[in-house]
Amino acid sequence: MAEAADRDPGPAPGADPDPDPEGHKGPLTIYLVKQLELAIRSFMDEALRPYGLTTFQYTALTVLQHRGGLSSAQLARRSFVRPQTMHEMVRALEERGLIERAHAPGNRRIMEARLTREGEELLAACAPAVQKLEDRLLLDIPEERRSAFRQGLEDGLASLTGRQHG
């Protein structure tokens, strides 16, 4: 019995038992990215709660801020949620007066969402809390490695999605 307790239990979930080509051991990169994503979402939800927003709603609003005039389906793709989820979210954000929808020029069957002044103001109010979280994320990364960290994330995203960031 004591022998079994002394044995190595094996790799942690998501761990790569063999080192990668650069000699790193430990969890797979995708496992670490997922852990980071879950931590960010938790802290974002907490930071946005006083503003009555979830991380997904905030994401949708920022997508519209950068690229207004999107259908619910387009907004869902850019916000990383299913179309059904986005449909409900769009209705809720519209009811709060944070977005407005109008028929797309040239296609009256499609409704495009745009941020309202109230939506812009809410995003501006959220900005310091979100920046504080961004600063916390980067706190222990030396200044000279931050650009490489960000570039690595962008490159990984582009590799998986086939889309270049920007």
Q: Is 164 inside a domain boundary?
A: no
Q: What 3-state class would DSSP assign to 115?
A: strand
Q: What is the CATH number of the domain that holds 58?
A: 1.10.10.10
Q: Is 7 inside a domain boundary?
A: no
Q: Is 52 inside a domain boundary?
A: yes
Sign of the dihedral through C-alpha 158, 162, 164, 166: negative
Q: Is 81 inside a domain boundary?
A: yes
Instruction: Please calculate the CA angle 90-60-164 and round it to the nearest 5 degrees.
Output: 135
Question: DSSP of 73-114, one letter per residue?
Answer: HHHHHHHTS-HHHHHHHHHHHHHTTSEEEEEETTEEEEEEEE
Give the predicted TM-score (pTM) of the model: 0.79
Residue-number span of the structural domain to which 71 is assigned: 28-134
Query: Domains in the chain: how many in total?
Result: 1
- pLDDT tens digit string along 29-66? 999 999 999 999 999 999 999 999 999 999 999 999 99
Q: Is 40 inside a domain boundary?
A: yes
- pLDDT tens digit string along 84-142? 999 999 999 999 999 999 998 888 888 999 999 999 999 999 999 999 999 999 999 99
Q: Is 150 inside a domain boundary?
A: no
Q: Is 90 inside a domain boundary?
A: yes
Q: Is 17 inside a domain boundary?
A: no
